[in-house]
Structure 1
Amino acid sequence: MVSSVNIRGTTRLIGIIGDPIAQAKSPAAVNPLFAARGADIVSVPLHVPAKELAIIWAGLKAIPNLVGFGITLPHKQTAIDLCDSLDPVAARVGAVNFVRRERDGSFRGYQFDGKGFVRGLQSKGIAIKGRNALIVGAGGASVAIAFALVEAGANSITVSNRTFDKAEALAETVNADFGKRVAKAGNPEPEAGQLVVNATSLGLQDTDALPLDPDLLQPGMTLAEVIAQPETTRLLAMAAAKGVETHSGMHMITGQAGLTVDHICELWA
């Protein structure tokens, strides 16, 4: 926890930017990892309204002891044009969820959504290899997760989105990158045994519409969230009541936390 961290004048900072930001869980996830390594680095949440992103970005870059920051909704795709350079995964996905200050002071964008999500699944022993997956949503996290699931051995990916063209574009991007037809656009209708991923922001509020019909969820499926706050969304609770295996978005945060700390400590610990 942040309260256990000894903050000094020498302490380096990493942030997490988003709009809203009250739901951010990454500071609580990464600060104990920095402390365990003896790194004089702490993470703090930073509320960055979407319309002020470019201005605040310039301010972050001007703070020498800020050595990086995570990025959450709605900045993941708009931030990509503000980075000085991109890790190949971020360039391929077209979205950034972590920025590191390089030794020359430049900001390099990385993409840990997909790898963090897969790490989270693997940490709980949830099968990916040979399995069909349904991803609801076609934003930056969806793209990253689709790539990472295919790399981890998923048999097929179906992408569903309110805008069908966006789902089709995501599927074609994945197919072109892997050189095979492994992804397609479809309806948010889970099928037997699928890994079902809610990669939308629906669920942050109890009053949100559900991203899919919970009556279609059946035992043998896995329902995984990218939302970490609340830790148990209304959809997860409904799925669990039906005997469906559930997976909180907190596990994705934990997976990303390890990647974040590795990358920051590589240069700044």
Structure 2
Amino acid sequence: MLEALSGATRLFIIIGDPIAQVQSPGGITREFVARGRNALLVPAQVSVAQVDEFIRGVLLAGNLDGIVVTVPHKFGAFAHCASTTDRAGFLQSVNIMRRNADGTWHGDMTDGVAFVGGIRQAGCVPEGKRALMVGAGGAGTAIALALLEAGVSELAIHDADAVRRDRLLARLAGRGAAKLLAGSDDPTGYDLIANATPAGMKHSDALPVRVELLTPAMFVGDVITSPEVTPLLTAARALGCGTQTGIGMFAAGRAMMVDFLLHS
């Protein structure tokens, strides 16, 4: 892979804060190589205060073809897109951006469909399930929409920011037949628990739900990639719950992301 790097290599970047935990640069770069493309994805640590200036600045790099966006920039990056897919436009957030022919950005949000694809691969059938999702940020917003489109019967959303939670509930109203409601950290009565927050990246983080109330029949999914098995998933597995890691979610969505970035 390294031997092929040259001045002709096409550049893609992933931006986030923090960035050290992301696992996608290697996986996406390997996917580029497997498709015969001389391209790579590299990480960039970018703060919220600097993200607008950074995105404007990288437009000057003529060999930069795309940006992958992670926490906490998915809503902010949306504002830099001249065009988006329908789902990204509805969600007003993006996790991938590619150059339009005129040099502007075109964005998409694949977190939701990747999460649902990952839980299906792990044996969870979301249709008819009662789901509790924690986190109404960029990933949570996308996952909520994807769960509704997958046919859950009920979706409860919990977020420490009640205003953000209620804004998401209002936006999703009428997007499907599922019952929508405000949730809590109590998973009692739910079939599917989704953590779409950063809680678990550090062992000192509070758990996103009350794990002592989990039962073996529940399925628990997490978006965090490092550590791959978060404290939430450790507790869920100890009880015999089915689980999906953030790595599983990324693997389920990787081909879709590369298709978009490469216009495949």
With the length of structure 1 as denominator, give the TM-score of the two structures.
Answer: 0.93
The amino acid across from 1:202 in the alignment is: A
Q: Which runs of 4+ in 1 moved over 3 A?
A: none
2:16/2:44 contact within 8 Å kept: yes
User: How far is 1:75 from its partner?
Assistant: 0.7
Matched-pair identity in %: 36
Long gaps (5+) in structure 2:
none
Please give the alpha-carbon distance, in whole angstroms, between the structure 2 residues aligned to 1:109 and 1:159: 25
Is the counterpart of residue 225 in structure 1 residue 213 in structure 2?
Answer: no
1:236 is matched with: 233
Long gaps (5+) in structure 1:
none
The amino acid across from 1:187 in the alignment is: S
Q: 1:28-177 counterparts in 2 under 5 A?
A: 28-177=26-175
Is the counterpart of residue 191 in structure 1 residue 195 in structure 2?
Answer: no
The amino acid across from 2:109 in the alignment is: Q
User: How far is 1:128 from its partner?
Assistant: 1.0
The secondary structure found in structure 2 opposite 1:84 is: strand
- The number of residues matched between the two structures is 264
1:165-203 deviations in Å (ceiling 9; x for gaps): 32222122112333x453211222113451100111111
The 1:55–1:193 alpha-carbon spacing in structure 2 relative to 1, beyond 3 Å, is closer
The amino acid across from 1:96 in the alignment is: V
Is the counterpart of residue 253 in structure 1 residue 255 in structure 2?
Answer: no
User: How far is 1:237 from its partner?
Assistant: 0.7
The amino acid across from 2:161 in the alignment is: T
2:132/2:192 contact within 8 Å kept: yes
User: How far is 1:238 from its partner?
Assistant: 1.2
1:160/1:186 contact within 8 Å kept: yes
User: How far is 1:60 from its partner?
Assistant: 1.3
The amino acid across from 1:237 in the alignment is: T
Please give the alpha-carbon distance, in whole angstroms, between the structure 2 residues aligned to 1:13 and 1:121: 31
Please give the alpha-carbon distance, in whole angstroms, between the structure 2 residues aligned to 1:131 and 1:176: 18
